């Protein structure tokens, strides 16, 4: 994973890759695409490359994936 400077308290902007992410704008957290909950970058583990969005936990990521597959969309 990236070496992160978590001292910035603002919201980061990321590009989500297959096994990592690229920091486009420095910050200390991103917001879950479903819940809006702040996710500290050091705790970010779940995201969708196709949708370019982060998720707070595995259950949330699985829920989005299941809904996307049901609708014939990419995850």
Q: What is the pLDDT of residues 33-52, one digit of tens each?
A: 999 999 999 999 999 999 99
Integer distance in angstroms from the first to the last C-alpha of the chain?
Answer: 21
Q: Please check whether residue 4 lies inside any domain of the structure.
A: no
The whole-angstrom separation of Cα 62 and Cα 14 is 21
User: How many domains would you assign to the chain?
Assistant: 1
Q: Please check whether residue 58 lies inside any domain of the structure.
A: yes
pTM: 0.84
Q: Please check whether residue 44 lies inside any domain of the structure.
A: yes
On the question of pLDDT at 60 being above 70, the answer is yes
Q: Please check whether residue 75 lies inside any domain of the structure.
A: no
pLDDT digits (tens, 9 = 90+) for 3-30: 455 556 799 999 999 999 999 999 999 9
Q: Please check whether residue 26 lies inside any domain of the structure.
A: yes
Q: Are 23 and 5 in contact, with CB atoms under 8 Å apart? A: no
What is the domain range of residue 25?
Answer: 13-70
């Amino acid at each position: 994973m990236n070496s992160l400077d978590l001292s910035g308290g603002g919201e980061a902007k990321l590009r989500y890759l297959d096994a990592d992410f690229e920091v486009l704008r420095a910050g200390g957290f991103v917001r879950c695409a479903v819940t809006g909950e702040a996710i500290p970058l050091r705790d970010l583990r779940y995201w969708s490359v196709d949708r370019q969005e982060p998720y707070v936990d595995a259950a949330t990521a699985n829920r989005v994936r299941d809904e996307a597959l049901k609708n014939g969309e990419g995850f």
